Structure 1
Amino acid sequence: MKVTINDIAKQAGVAKSTVSRYLNGGRISQKTSEKIKRIIEEHNYEPNSFARSLKSRKTGFVGVVAPALDSFVTSKILIRMDEELRTRGYTTLISNTSHSIEREIESLQNLQRQKVDGMILFATELTPAHFELIESLTVPLLIIGQETDQTHCIVFDDFQAGYKMGECIASAGHKKISYIGVDETDVAVGQRRRKGIETACRDNGAEDIQFFRSGFDFDSAMLAAEKSLEHSQASAIICATDTIALGAMRVIREKGYRIPEDISVSGFGGYTVSKMIHPSLVTVEFDYQETGYLAASTIVKLMQSEEVDQLQRPHFKIREGESVKGKK
């Protein structure tokens, strides 16, 4: 079985970038250097000379693959990231995939053929095709939004964010709660955020929690909200995103209910529109400026074979609003 750089990094207990730096003559500690050398010799590992030659030819381009450019979250991070990369002398090449996994993989492959110096992927799902591609890449890859030990990632702490929101709603006295979330294939939002919410609700005395599945779009959010109102007597609806929350608020009003007097609503995202509406939305506000800066600085360090933490988590906070009864 052919040994990869990723295998060597795991056995040595170091980041993939550290092994790359060793192979390219970069500076690392004597102890780490000897450990990597021993593992390479044990497995008779031979670096791909073509891949190494590609790394030595700098183009000044960073490829960025995003599922949707009209996303509030993506656009906020992209703007800050692009600004920071420009100050460091890099130009971004952006590819929009319209939520197509096939186009996502194809875009990453095309960017590598164009010999970009590094790539950033805004991921909503990681599939076997992604992991296969990661193994074949000859340039650094940074993933935003999902977590894997195969490459460097910037991921919001969705469990803790979910826990804080669940705690906020349950501590306001709500015992029957609906959660409108997304499919579990999205590990960060679909699994960890939901788990955080459910754990906090139960820790704070709210045992009756019903789940309703939605997509990320406004229309499916409205359909899920209608199902919630039909099948639940919840006094609060927690929504996985602000877009879903806005869809739910529209349905609640159309059905003749008042927010928050009859039903409280909260979201995740901290969108600008969420504080412009009335009642303003209680939501988790992630630090997108920090995320964009981290993304730019991290990919530059990786392209320069510098040591970087494999997992980084930007900050978040609960943004107060008027949409939850008992919360201002």
Structure 2
Amino acid sequence: MKTIADIAKLAGVAKSTVSRYLNGGSVSLQTKKKIEQIIQEQNYIPNTFAQSLKAKKTNMIGAIVPRLDSYATSQTLTGMDKELRVQNYHLLISNTNQEQQREIEAIYDFARQKVSGIILLAAEVTEAHLTALKKVDIPVILVGQKHSQLHSLIHDDFKAGYIMGKHILESGHQQIAYLGVTEKDEAVGIKRKQGFQKAIAEHHCEIQYYETSFKIKDAIEVASNIFDASLPSIAVCATDNIALGVMKAAHARGIRIPEQLSITGFGGYDTSEIVHPALTTVHYAYLQAGELSAQQIIQLVEDQSVNMCSTLDVTLIDRESVDKR
């Protein structure tokens, strides 16, 4: 663990200069930038920081999100902001562009800004995440994933996969292509698929599993490769965006939806209702997740009791993109 003396040596300045900087004293702009760079590179936090944070709580809550161009993220942030404003808190947002190292850096950056709590939206929680959160000693709520060491707020992904699987079987589909994401994402990559697998376990279906990313363009490429080999009766997609990519690939080849190919998604995005045919999907309460995570982080900041894990329900939305066989 670095000390003020270490930071001073690396920055090429006196220890008193680093101390003055940390306490808000007068430091030249050039020196300030140099010290800030070293502090960020070393993920340095003063030993007294955790104590001072508890003694001087701010009304700022930091949210670390993987991307801003996501319906799920934007709706969750909207819910957070709405609830925090009611509670007289301000929301600070750090976009990490789905880079784990930037998530770690954001934790330390928020600590330096003395936020009172952190709401973390991460696809995967690593030892580096846990080390950073332990070091800064700031209340945290993990949204979208479950972790035994963190207060977590999740959607019922297993149930989502299960009810979608049941719906597909009831519609008579037997030749299935499942387009999932990396299993590093436990909620989307594992739980949704496990729920789906349980639903179809006792039925004799022809099913192939494929992996893609969350991006529409990648889903288009994977779907095109699937169509080159054979045409399933239905494509079950782990997110609505993946489903939109499959739809575009199908339209490009003149494949009629749902007559020749049925398609489903997960998420209940606004776009899933306005595309043609409207997408059969599972609705996730992203806005409610944002509101509840804001309520819970404030409770933690105020030393109130919060359940280690809270689960939000999901509902199937049956639309026109699934044909009965």
Bucket of the pairwise TM-score, normalised by the shorter protein: 0.7 to 0.9
In the superposition, the TM-score normalised over structure 1's length comes to 0.82
Structure 1 equivalent of residue 119 of structure 2: 120
Taking the aligned partners of 2:315 and 2:207, their CA distance within structure 1 comes to: 23
- 1:13-92 alignment runs, 5 A limit: 51-92=50-91
Q: Secondary structure at the match of 1:268?
A: coil
Note the C-alpha offset of 1:207.
2.8
Equivalent in 231, 246, 249 of residue 248 of structure 1: 246
Taking the aligned partners of 1:282 and 1:105, their CA distance within structure 2 comes to: 37
Structure 2 equivalent of residue 95 of structure 1: 94
Structure 1 equivalent of residue 19 of structure 2: none
Task: Give CA-to-partner distance per residue, 1:171-220, whole Å, 9 cap, x none.
Answer: 210011000010111111111111111221223x2432111111000110
Structure 1 equivalent of residue 236 of structure 2: 238
Structure 2 equivalent of residue 258 of structure 1: 256
Task: Give CA-to-partner distance per residue, 1:281-320, whole Å, 9 cap, x none.
Answer: 0001111222111111100100001001110111210112
Equivalent in 299, 303, 309 of residue 301 of structure 1: 299
Note the C-alpha offset of 1:83.
0.9
What is the letter of the counterpart of residue 177 of structure 1? I
Q: Tell me the C-alpha RMSD between the 2 structures.
A: 1.5
Taking the aligned partners of 2:283 and 2:225, their CA distance within structure 1 comes to: 27
Do 2:107 and 2:133's aligned partners in 1 also have CA atoms closer than 8 Å?
A: no
Structure 2 equivalent of residue 216 of structure 1: 214
Do 1:212 and 1:227's aligned partners in 2 also have CA atoms closer than 8 Å?
A: no
Task: Give CA-to-partner distance per residue, 1:242-296, whole Å, 9 cap, x none.
Answer: 0000000111121221111111000001011111111000001111222111111
53-62 or 236-245: bigger deviation: 53-62
Gaps of 5+ in 2: 1-46
Structure 2 equivalent of residue 288 of structure 1: 286
Q: Given the superposition, is the C-alpha separation of residues 318 and 51 from structure 1 closer, same or farther in structure 2, using an over 3 Å criterion? A: same
Note the C-alpha offset of 1:159.
1.0
- 1:89-238 alignment runs, 5 A limit: 89-203=88-202, 205-238=203-236
Taking the aligned partners of 2:217 and 2:229, their CA distance within structure 1 comes to: 19
Do 1:66 and 1:74's aligned partners in 2 also have CA atoms closer than 8 Å?
A: yes
What is the letter of the counterpart of residue 196 of structure 1? G
What is the letter of the counterpart of residue 181 of structure 2? V
User: Aligned residue pairs: how many?
Assistant: 279
Structure 1 equivalent of residue 265 of structure 2: 267
Task: Give CA-to-partner distance per residue, 1:88-146, whole Å, 9 cap, x none.
Answer: 01001111111111111101111011111000111112222112223223110111111
Note the C-alpha offset of 1:223.
1.0
Do 1:62 and 1:93's aligned partners in 2 also have CA atoms closer than 8 Å?
A: yes
Gaps of 5+ in 1: 1-47
Note the C-alpha offset of 1:224.
1.2
Taking the aligned partners of 2:291 and 2:271, their CA distance within structure 1 comes to: 23
What is the letter of the counterpart of residue 219 of structure 2? A
Do 1:67 and 1:98's aligned partners in 2 also have CA atoms closer than 8 Å?
A: yes
Taking the aligned partners of 2:231 and 2:87, their CA distance within structure 1 comes to: 54
Note the C-alpha offset of 1:50.
5.3
Q: Secondary structure at the match of 1:59?
A: coil
What is the letter of the counterpart of residue 69 of structure 1? L
Q: Secondary structure at the match of 2:168?
A: helix
Taking the aligned partners of 2:130 and 2:175, their CA distance within structure 1 comes to: 40
Do 1:170 and 1:206's aligned partners in 2 also have CA atoms closer than 8 Å?
A: no
Q: Secondary structure at the match of 2:123?
A: coil
Q: Secondary structure at the match of 2:223?
A: helix
Identity %: 41
Q: Secondary structure at the match of 2:179?
A: strand
Note the C-alpha offset of 1:52.
3.4
Do 1:214 and 1:221's aligned partners in 2 also have CA atoms closer than 8 Å?
A: yes
Q: Given the superposition, is the C-alpha separation of residues 105 and 256 from structure 1 closer, same or farther in structure 2, using an over 3 Å criterion? A: same
